Amino acid sequence: MLESLISIIKKFYMNHNFCYNVSGIIESNQNKYSQTYDIVAQRFDCQYNNAGSLDKIPENHNVHTLQGHKDWVNSVAFSPDGSIIASGSEDNTIKLWDVSTGKYRCTLKNGWWHKGHKTPVITVAFSPDGQTLASAGDDNTIKLWRMRTGKVFRTLKGEGLWVNFVAFSPDGRLLASANDTSIRLWDLHQGKKLFTIEGFNVVVFSPDGRMIATGGTNNTIKLWDVSTGTIRYTFKKHYLPISSLAFSPDGCTLVSGSKDSSIKIWDVSTGNALGSLHGHRHAVSSLAFHPNGRILASASCDNSIRLWEINSDHEMCILEGHDSFVNAVAFSPDGHTLVSASYDNTIKLWQ
């Protein structure tokens, strides 16, 4: 009964608090970019010429829709080898999909033979070696699934109302989790909590694993040293809560998405703000770097995905096709496919 009430409260919160309509608050800067490329057809990957500048948009990209979930799809993740997509849904299940064929593989859920989630699954993440899948959700637990057997081998208990983010360290030894009010760092070898950071609900590891970035409802971002738990930098530019964070593949740049609909770019070595990306009309829900580090994908409650040339702050493409809020985006390890998840109960593969 309590878990059902929490789910209802969360849905109300997501609809009425997370997805602000800020189109009347800030003016979109989309038209100021002289090299903006709009795509009405469903495709992605604007191509570069030999000088490294945007050249043209190819005409042969396709989109595939994966259907099977019975409710919102909250999260998606590629396996490290790029062969599998995991999706977590409001229907209390995790589904695995074959990337090459787009075919459904299996469902990970609660049952008599393993202890899965009994409530909506908010987030999923693969371990760096691909052998473990972490999931978390409204039941305030983190489940660690063994991919070989499809069974849960460990459950970590949260301390808030729900767990909305999980992230593995690059070496797979640590797991960071975020609930509605705090961040926790876990030692997976010992299965114990290392420390807690209060006041934040978004977390991501740096590519070298030495730092974590956190964001929260106080509109600020902090960089923390993982080994000491001390703060390196504090970033303050957003005027509404932080909703997404992503490091560039080289770890030199951090990007932040906010409910204020903007994306900020930060220099990790100095803590300086490098620029802002404007174009979304509602909250930015998810961010993902292309493996080449030059392209950033952003998802939003305005039902769209946008691709940005990060070095020039130019909007490259708008991907439209979802019928509701886009909750999550992720690039495949080879950069050939972008996956997105939506409140329209579908997953899309943009190729």
Bridge partners (DSSP) listed for residue 242: 258
For 168, the token pair is 């593995």
Q: Which amino acid is at 319?
A: L
At residue 326, φ and ψ (nearest 5 deg) are -95, 120
Q: CA 250, 254, 259 angle in degrees (round to 5)?
A: 150
Mean pLDDT across the chain, nearest whole number? 85
pLDDT > 50? residue 32: no
Which of 236, 276, 274, 281 has the alpha carbon at shortest distance from 259? 281
Looking at the domain assignment, is residue 148 inside a domain?
Answer: no
The rounded distance, in Å, linking the Cα atoms of 154 and 287 is: 29
Q: Which amino acid is at 136?
A: A
Which of 176, 204, 290, 284 has the alpha carbon at shortest distance from 221? 204
Signed CA dihedral, 174, 223, 210, 129: sign only? positive
For 144, the token pair is 């660690």
Looking at the domain assignment, is residue 247 inside a domain?
Answer: yes
pLDDT > 70? residue 35: no
In contact, 64 and 102? CB cutoff 8 Å: yes
For 267, the token pair is 């220099």
C-alpha distances (whole Å) from 153 to each of 3, 86, 297, 339 are: 23, 18, 33, 28
Task: Give the tens place of pLDDT for each residue, 228-239.
Answer: 889 999 999 899
Looking at the domain assignment, is residue 278 inside a domain?
Answer: yes
**Which residue range forms the structural domain that includes residue 195?**
2-68+165-327+334-350
pLDDT > 80? residue 54: no
Q: Count the Cβ atoms, other than its own, within 10 Å of residue 239.
A: 13
Which of the four pLDDT bands, split at 50, 70 and 90, describes residue 3? low
Q: What percent of the chain has pLDDT over 70?
A: 82
Task: Give the tens place of pLDDT for each residue, 154-212.
Answer: 999 988 789 999 999 999 999 999 998 899 999 999 888 999 999 999 999 999 999 99
Q: What is the 3-state secondary structure (H, E, C) of 120-159?
A: CEEEEEECCCCCEEEEEECCCEEEEEECCCCEEEEEEECC
Looking at the domain assignment, is residue 94 inside a domain?
Answer: no
Q: Would you call 3 helix, strand, or coil by DSSP?
A: helix
Looking at the domain assignment, is residue 122 inside a domain?
Answer: no
Looking at the domain assignment, is residue 29 inside a domain?
Answer: yes
Looking at the domain assignment, is residue 147 inside a domain?
Answer: no
Number of domains in the chain: 1
Cα radius of gyration (the chain): 19
- Which CATH number do you get for residue 303? 2.130.10.10
Q: What DSSP string describes 21-60?
A: B-TTTS---GGG-TT-----SS----EE-TTSSEEE--S-
- The reported pLDDT for the residue numbered 50 is 37
Looking at the domain assignment, is residue 130 inside a domain?
Answer: no
Which of the four pLDDT bands, split at 50, 70 and 90, describes residue 7? low
pLDDT > 60? residue 292: yes
Task: Give the tens place of pLDDT for each residue, 80-89.
Answer: 999 999 999 9
Task: Give the tens place of pLDDT for each residue, 107-127.
Answer: 999 876 678 999 999 999 999
More confident residue, 6 or 288: 288
